[in-house]
Structure 1
Amino acid sequence: MGRIAQRAIELAEEKFVTASGPGGQNVNKVATAVQLRVDVFALGLSPEAFARLRELAGSRLTKAGEILILASEHRTQDMNRQAARARLAALLDEALTPPARRAKSRLNRLGKVKRLKAKKERGAVKAGRGKIDW
């Protein structure tokens, strides 16, 4: 977990809400789902990292600039809290990792000649399929 992800977890506000799903009667009376809310602007991200985060977060990023993560897959508050924090850390780590630079492929002269020759042949085949002009 990176330094910024750790800071985000420290700044995050947690709110527990009732969840649907497994748990029987217990699900109606115990607030086990967790909503994790983090202000993105307080993290001090670079513009490039912020743009990547906005792209990755999608609908989880509110108009107020907060990331909202809801975790309700487990039956206990603690497990859901850990799941939400792990998801937040993963999201931030992915946003902070710059994409790998693409190496341009380079075709040698012989490869280029072969490709152009194949295109000519294919074009000739297609040209031969047209209507015959008597």
Structure 2
Amino acid sequence: MSVSRYLVKEDEVTFTAMRAQGAGGQNVNKVSSAIHLRFDIAASSLPEWLRERLLGLNDTRISKEGVLVIKAQQYRTQEQNRADALLRLQALVDSASHTPKTRRTTKPTYGSQQRRLAGKSQRASIKSLRGRVDD
């Protein structure tokens, strides 16, 4: 089974370096190692159906204008954060391109129905024995 993967072109993505937030000491305070990745979904070269799916996602990272913003600040270097942001973008595109199989309705087999009913009647007989005892 071959899976068609829609790759995001790097020239359609803009990167902005900034200082990372949170703990990290002197390195965080003086080095712009965090990356903001911006990807304009509507202007991308992805297929139309995939663009519509991405724009239809209920994701706070997608703005009203259709621009996806991913912030990567996990690593100490700009290059690692840039690669992490690209991987996260590609993972989002891959998850949106996956179409789940349509469910086929099936009927329970005769044997499974009989087993279910036998279990129910056995449970009912157990519960009927829990009542008051008559002398």
Give the TM-score normalised by structure 2: 0.73
| CA displacement at 1:64 relative to structure 2 | 2.4
In the TM superposition, what are the counterparts of 1:1-134 in structure 2 within 5 Å?
2-3=5-6, 5-7=7-9, 9-20=10-21, 21-22=23-24, 24-43=25-44, 44-46=47-49, 50=53, 54-55=57-58, 58-102=59-103, 104=105, 106-126=107-127, 129=130
SS in 2 for 1:119: helix
Q: Which consecutive unaligned segments of at least 5 residues does structure 1 have?
A: none
Sort the Cα spacing of 1:52 and 1:63 in 2 relative to 1 into closer, same or farther, 3 A.
closer
Secondary structure of the corresponding residue to residue 59 of structure 1: coil
Larger relative helix fraction: 1
Cα displacement string for residues 89-133 of structure 1 (whole angstroms, at most 9, x for unaligned residues): 11101110112344555532122122122223323444554679x
**Could you tell me which amino acid in structure 2 is paired with residue 33 of structure 1?**
A
Superposition RMSD on alpha carbons, in Å?
3.1
**CA contact 1:52–1:95 (8 Å) conserved in 2:** no
Percent identity for Structure 1 against Structure 2: 31
Cα deviation, residue 49, structure 1: 6.1
| One-letter amino acid of the structure 1 residue matched with residue 63 of structure 2 | T
CA separation of 1:112/1:53 partners in 2, compared to 1, >3 Å: closer, same or farther?
same
Amino acid at match of 1:80: N
Greater relative CO, 1 or 2 (CA 8 Å, sep 6+): 1
Determine the C-alpha separation between the residues in 1 that align with 2:124 and 2:54.
45
TM-score (ref. length: structure 1): 0.74
Whether the 8 Å contact between 2:55 and 2:66 is mirrored in structure 1 is no
Q: Is the 8 A contact 1:15 1:34 kept in 2?
A: yes
Number of positions where the alignment pairs a residue of Structure 1 with one of Structure 2: 128
For 1:125 and 1:10, how far apart are their aligned partners in 2?
70
Is contact 1:49-1:95 (8 Å) kept?
no
The offset of 1:70, in angstroms, is 0.5
Q: Which amino acid aligns with 1:15?
A: T
